[in-house]
Amino acid sequence: MPTLRAPLVTLLVTALLGLGTASLPSEPHLTPAASYLPRLAVQGRAPTAAVLVQSSAAGPGSFRSTGPGIRYADRFRAGSITKTFVATVVLQLAHEGRLRLSDRVERYLPGLIRGHGNDGRRITLRALLSHTSGLYDYTDDGFARPLSALAAIRTATSHRPASRPGLFTYSNTDYAVLGLVVQRVTGHGYATEIRRRVIAPLHLTGTSLPGARTTLPAPHGRGYSRDPAGGGLTDATELDPRTAGAAGELISTLADLNRFYAALLGGRLLPPAQLAALLNTAAAQGDYGLGIYPERLACGVTVWGHNGRIAGSYVRTAASRDGGHIMTYRIDTDILSHADTLEPALLEAEFCPARTDHGP
């Protein structure tokens, strides 16, 4: 599994309110992932963890939370899961013939990617989608807090490329650029196109792109940023999402994310050719598709989805290839201790049928 999938932890945040309690009518069964959930709180040091699992074989979704901090209907910041929404729009535009994935950035944004070894004449839209552009990740600049895509791209191009084009190097800058490409092609901002093409058709009533709004829609709980050194928690419920933009500003719910990925993988949002392109990991040497990535579990099962990390929130969606079995979990902080072992174990608990060690 590639590293630094959603490195938007450095967002400038302010503090303030939110409230959460965990309640939902009793579910017909306790899923393996739900049985594993307490480990995220105990070993992962998450204030609260919650999971929603849906399967065509299991009927209604099963929601569980480790405590009162996360409710079923809570809105939360989904971070880099925004990228799958943006990629879906770009691929729909490709199907409509309004752009080609082989097009160079220069065609749509002439002169924007230049300087310090950066050159938009050599970077394709496919390279942006697959994180193989080599562009420096603007969130790695500890001094910059860009509040627009143009400012983010200027920050990135003030640095030399992070890698040579063609190598997989996760960069939020790629999707900042794609957001501007969508605007140039359609005449509308990427948020407008996501609402029209994805949110409205799928009736994702808990999903929004806040723009400059610093607060979360109700209902919502609190989000906390953990100090990596001292471990202390700071309220990060409010923040300026413009720093994340097309790379990570999305707000959503557990149920909406499950519905979105089920529809995407089930072929309801993209025709077969574009869905195949979405899942083609060749450009990124098997690490990443186009706004989505695979993870091969120890039992040999491969799940598809994305994660999102932003100040105060971490979320991960994983699904079977056809979207029929899908799980989204989240914690109300941006750092999960022992994530390299806890998250794969949680996925294996749910998706590996032979696994029996699900208990806390």
Q: Please identify every residue annotated as catalytic.
A: 80
C-alpha angle 8-224-326 in degrees, rounded to nearest 5: 65
Decide: residue 281, CB within 10 A, 0-12 exposed, 13-18 middle, 19+ buried.
middle
Farthest-apart Cα atoms in the chain, separation: 59
Residue that is written with structure tokens 């070993």 in the block: 43
CA 195 to chain centre: 17
Note whether 303 and 295 are within 8 A (CB): yes
Alpha carbon separation from 125 to 167, 174, 179, 267 (Å, rounded): 15, 9, 11, 22
Q: DSSP state, 124?
A: B
Pairwise CA distance, residues 197 & 155, whole Å: 30
Which of 263, 323, 242, 244 minimizes the C-alpha distance to 55? Answer: 323
Pairwise CA distance, residues 3 & 115, whole Å: 27
